[in-house]
Chains A and B, each alone.
Chain A
Amino acid sequence: MPSPPLLEVNDLYVRFPTPAGPVNAVAGVSFTVSAGETVAVVGESGSGKSVSSLALLGLLGSGNISAGSVLLRDEELVGAAPERLRQLRGSELAMIFQNPMSSLDPLFTIGDQLVEALRAHRPMARRAARARAVELLREVGLPDPERRVRAYPHELSGGQQQRVMVAIALTCEPALLIADEPTTALDVTVEAQILELLRTMQREHGMALLLITHDMAVVAEMADRVVVMYAGRVVEQGPVAEVLRSPRNPYTRALIDSIPTPATPRDQPMPAIAGSVPTPAEAPAGCRFHPRCPSVLDRCSEAEPPLYELRPGRASRCWLHDGALRAGPAPAAGEVHHVA
């Protein structure tokens, strides 16, 4: 790492209350994002990737961060005053979401929603904010911004709405933009446009981008580094090119193998990982992936492997690496972390 990280997430636990008692949707997640860098967090539905990102902004609904630390430029966000988090949201940390169609308030114009974001953090005359809103809409490539600024969300297409979301996120020049599956709900052609827009904006504004996705193709196209999550745990991380070319963790390998290519035989079932991600409450003992793992060993059901640091910046959580350097302490089997 050339510079100290912009964002440093350390051993983060996010707990949700359920009728059967609290469960950890995110259990001991650590990663960093440097200024200007793109980090992808990838995993299946239920892996805890969205929850982690919402937790950073203090936007969890019913859940809460039960342990760990989130440092933004060395400022601790876990346990920070709600007012401080509010000040950081939108100004330093911006976020765009999966469903642009439902992420804009249907009762206010695009312009009103942009002006609101502009004026949330700095005093700005309504007129100036209005002009800036038009400028931002032009910058994100919305055609005819002078007219669109008066449009309501339902008058725009999904791709245009996501452009508006990007414009809202850019209002205060954030240091970090978190994009939570920003293209999942969009058509493939629109997806390419939005990804291109994110890349351009990142370059022009010098933002770091934390990209949450389940799509390896998006990871390959966008990210510098990738964090692979499974059932609330980080299972592998490293530079994108390396991880995609030579995945070390069986889960990452299975994820990559399940991407269909033109060479995939059509008369056979698509390659897929059998089963589904366990819910946090029913996470198996030992390695959380072992029931679905093709390379399962006896010890996998007994104890959970630690995150082995294979070399600086490259880590994988698997007993196959036993003997390599450990990145962190091994969690005991079935261990439940309860920290106030």
Chain B
Amino acid sequence: MIGYTLRRLGYGVVVMCLVTIFVFVIMRLVPGDAVSLQLQDTGVSKEAADALRAEFGLDDPVWVQLWEWLAGAVRGDLGASFYNKEPVVDLFLARVPVTVQLGLLAMLVGTALGLTVGIIAAVTRGSVTDSALRVFAVAFLSVPNFVVALLLLTAFALWFAWSPPLVYAEPTEDFIGWAQQMAIPVFALGTGGMAAVARLTRSSMLESLGSDYIRTVRAKGVRERTVVLKHSLRNSTIAVLTLLGLELATVLGGTVIIERMFGLPGTGQLIYQAVLDRDYPVVVACTIFYAGLFVITIILIDLLYALVDPRIRTGKALS
């Protein structure tokens, strides 16, 4: 198990290196750079612009830039923003908490609601409740999260004359304000996951409810609640865990748009603006963050499999 974990961590590091190099190179292939974008309307001479490029190191060949960046990165220096010269690490750390809160809450809300809906649909299989819940799930699966967000904003504004505050407040300073601002983004980001989790929970629970071991549990005279919530649900978690790993990618992607829509100062906003500005160091740092978060989550999920299923713990599949 430890060997397995270390090997997975090793793969994770390789993946992150490849992602870094890929993003580093691809950003520089995109037409336009930070200098031309900054100075295009100011009529600055070409000499001044080239001097600025030299200062940022943008006149060096890509592989030299990459080498210098890597040399800094291993010492914990991810460079400075081309715009305000602030160290990328500081810019970034200031924004990480918002995105982590948003992403984590969206995953939690989506998973909790999805499991609930899935369980109810599975035990009421074939009933009106089941059909209604499935229609509801397909609806949320089909509508993109930013549309859900817009609809919610509109609905609350129209019917309750309420809209979330415009300026982000730290939860430690103004919890109510924070909660008001996060509610719609969290829900909008969570709905896609909720629908997917609900559908998968329903189908894998139906599969397990029809299985031989559930028949044994019932033959023992165990209460139906225990049959469903202990045996059937636990046997469905492997499938749901796999889905949650993939869902994280969707949620992280969603934060970029949602943070922008709701003026949340998170990494999503940061990367959005940095891409527009060709602010290479910021883009690369954000990408590494997203890739790292994803890689770590996937490894955690693999470890959770083993926690849930003893056959994986002792089996040869992972050793």
Contacts and interface: CB of A to CB of B under 8 A. Distances in A.
Given A86-B223, A152-B311, A155-B314, A103 B218 contact: no
A165 interface: yes
Nearest to A121: B221
Contacts of A171: 220
Which DSSP category, helix, strand, loop or mixed, fits chain B's interface?
helix
Given A105-B213, A168-B216, A120 B314 contact: no
A57 B215 CA distance: 11
Size class of A's contact patch? Answer: 20 to 34
Nearest to A154: B311
Which DSSP category, helix, strand, loop or mixed, fits chain A's interface?
mixed
Contact of B213 (A61, A102, A121): A102
Given A61-B210, A152-B310, A155-B314, A105 B220 contact: no
Interface in A119-174: 120-121, 152, 154-155, 165, 168, 171-172
A222 B237 CA distance: 42
Contacts of A61: 210
Contact of B309 (A86, A102, A107): A107
Interface centre among A86, A99, A106, A107 (most CB of B within 10 A): A107
Interface in A316-334: none
Nearest to A153: B213
A88 B221 contact: yes
A247 interface: no
B212 interface: yes
B81 interface: no
Interface of B: 210-224, 226, 231, 234-235, 308-311, 314-315
Interface of A: 57, 59, 61, 82, 86-91, 94-95, 97, 99, 102-109, 116-117, 120-121, 152, 154-155, 165, 168, 171-172
17 contacts: A57-B219, A86-B222, A97-B216, A102-B213, A103-B213, A106-B213, A106-B310, A106-B311, A107-B235, A107-B309, A108-B231, A116-B226, A120-B221, A152-B310, A165-B216, A168-B216, A168-B220
